[in-house]
Structures are given as C-alpha cells and as structure tokens.
Amino acid sequence: MIGFYDYTVILTYMSLLSAIGGIALVTNGHPILATYCLLFSGLCDMFDGKVARSKKNRTDEEKSFGIQIDSLTDIVAFGVLPATMTITLCGHVWYSYVVAALFTLTGMIRLAYFNVTEELRQKETDECRKTYTGLPITSSSLIFPFFFCIISIFCLCYDRIELFLELFQKDSLRVALCILMSITGFAFILPFRIRKPQSREFWWFLGFGALMAIVLFIVYLKFTAL
C-alpha cells in the first residue's frame, strides 16, 4: 500500500475520523456531540506534531507526507466540520451557506500557503517554527465550542436547556454565529504574525478545552434527561 503507516500519523488519522463523525452527528441532530468531535480533533492536532518529531530518523518523504496529511485533515476537521455545524444550526438559511463556503475557502488558502512556506523552511532549518502568519485554522476547535458553551451556560442559568436549539431559530443568533465565522475566516488570511504557543500557553489551551468539554457534558446530560 502507498503512504506511511507508523505511529507518527495515528493522531492525524484519528483527527480526520473524528471530524467525519462530527459531520455525521450534526447533520443528524446532535450538535453537542459534534462539538465534542471538534474538540477531540483539536486535541489530536495539539499533539500530532510532537509525536511526529519524536521519531528522529524521519526521511524527507515522511516529513513532507506528514505536512500534507496534517493540512488535508485540518481542512476537514477545522474547516468543513464547523461550516457544516453553522449551516445546520442556522436552519440552512441562504447566508449560512455563503459564510460557510467562504470560511472553508479561506481555511484552504491558509493551509496551502502554510504547506509551501513550511516545506521551504524545513529545507533551511531543523528548528521548530516560532510564529505563524495568519490565524491558525486549528483555532476553530476552541472558538466555536466556546461560542456554544456561552449559549449553553445561558440556557443552564435559566434551567431551560431546550433553549439551546430554540435560540438558533432566531435570526439574531444565526447572524451572530455567521459573523463570528466570517471574522474567523478572514483572520485566516490576514498577513499578521502570531507567536506559536509555548509550553505554558499550550497547557492553558488544553485546560480551557477540558473546561468546555465539562460544560458541554453537563448540557448533554440535561438534553438526554428531557
């Protein structure tokens, strides 16, 4: 079989499978479980690079293959999945399709640009990347779950968890979600530099994701109790 199948690619493959599961879940009426899939894909992405670099004798082909599959997975996990969630939660209104399409397009452009610059960079140095140009597409795994958590907390405060889906029937919340997606997508291709998270920030992001997972778990339990 063509391709590479050692331990360095396992997390990337798991991220893709999680994203596909999330797309299936949200289109079948399970947005909270789909958000879990988005968070899990983000978790896999946080560690896949560290796992890959742990293999010291990687060939140039293996390094290039890793870059390609990582980006191909990212466009599905952090582009197509959030876009599908937005379209579905917004009730398939026409503007959600436009926003979701442009969001996915800018994500693809950013990833393609990253691939080109990263391959050139790795030919010049073995050092780890210290900055990114544009907002990394993987930020979707925190931005959109955070948005859904805010809505969830609002519903929990009123002890009416069924409001979660009812609120998305209102144009105001649909527009808010689409605006958030538009800003995020535009930030993917803005030519600004952002520092790559260091060890302490890395664990802060991990803790933030875990906190959101707990909130969503409480919401899911409330949903299943209805």
CATH class of 7-225: mainly alpha
Q: Residue 69 is encoded by which pair of tokens?
A: 């599959």
Mean pLDDT throughout 71-98?
Answer: 96
Q: Residue 50 is encoded by which pair of tokens?
A: 């560290």
What whole-number distance in Å separates Cα of residue 138 and Cα of residue 38?
A: 10
Of 130-134, 189-193, 209-213, which range is least confident? 130-134
- What percent of the chain is modeled with pLDDT above 70? 95
Nearest to residue 10, comparing CAs of 55, 57, 75, 59? Answer: 55
Question: Is there a contact between 191 and 113 (Cβ–Cβ < 8 Å)?
Answer: no
State phi, psi for 173 to the nearest 5 degrees: -75, -35
What whole-number distance in Å separates Cα of residue 92 and Cα of residue 176?
A: 15
Most confident of 69-78, 116-125, 146-155: 69-78
Torsion of CA 19, 24, 29, 32, to 10 degrees: -20
Q: What is the pTM of this model?
A: 0.91
- Give me the residue label for tokens 């079989």: 1
- List CB contacts of 189: < 8 A, sequence separation 6 or more: 106, 109, 110, 113, 134
Cα–Cα–Cα angle for 100, 102, 104, rounded to 5 degrees: 70
* Helix spans in 8-59 (H): 10-27, 31-53
